[in-house]
Structure 1
């Protein structure tokens, strides 16, 4: 009597990987001037660094210029445009997460495909996008932001030299 042939097993894509090691942030997160990127990927382009055309420009004047540029080039109007700008903020936060995953090598298929400079750039994109959305909501964005920052600082830090409230 012949022994039955076992069904074929699915092919493994790669050898089993060891369990992930605990991760901790580097003591000093390198910026664009940090050590060479071991992945060989280029650093994010510095289009408006200290020596660029927008270097040293007032933050709120730049935010307002970006808002005007978006207003002049929008595909949708009214409340739909505002909603899409808020959604853009969520997209940018997702890109921060993607960069952190890439910088820490947490995706075994991709490995370390981002740098900490990429994370810094994506965080800046989140801040810029948030400021543009705030400016879209109110022409008094600098005052609104400064007031809210002061309230958060007081709540968390208390009076200068004092305790949190």
Structure 2
């Protein structure tokens, strides 16, 4: 998981280098970006199931997988934009969710 968070750190730095907004606005935009990505998941699911009569089967389930990965990456980048301790925050939260859900 360390390599994953190293990559997220690099992506966050790359995004930050291309933004001129104050940090608080950058955080808001990173969080709002999640809504955009979730919308793309919904579009892919609708396309994979052929539920848009105008477009038909416009996506595959592999497209859905890819869009879900984009949501995960975007959420990780948003968390990293919010805190430099993103990896620790995530690991701690995952532990709490697992303990609560799995009863460990």
Assess same fold via TM > 0.5: yes
Q: Is structure 2 residue 59 aligned with structure 1 residue 114?
A: yes
* CA RMSD, 1 decimal: 1.1
Tell me, in whole angstroms, the C-alpha distance in 1 between the residues paired with 2:50 and 2:101.
34
TM-score normalized by the length of structure 2 = 0.95
Q: Paired residue for 1:89?
A: 34
Tell me, in whole angstroms, the C-alpha distance in 1 between the residues paired with 2:51 and 2:20.
37
Unmatched runs of 5 consecutive residues or more in structure 1: 1-56, 160-165
Q: Which has the larger share of helix?
A: 2
Q: Paired residue for 1:72?
A: 17
Structure of higher CA gyration radius: 1
Unmatched runs of 5 consecutive residues or more in structure 2: none
TM-score normalized by the length of structure 1 = 0.61
Deviation string 1:108-138 (CA, Å, 9 cap, x unpaired) is 1100000001000000000000000101111
Q: Paired residue for 1:20?
A: none
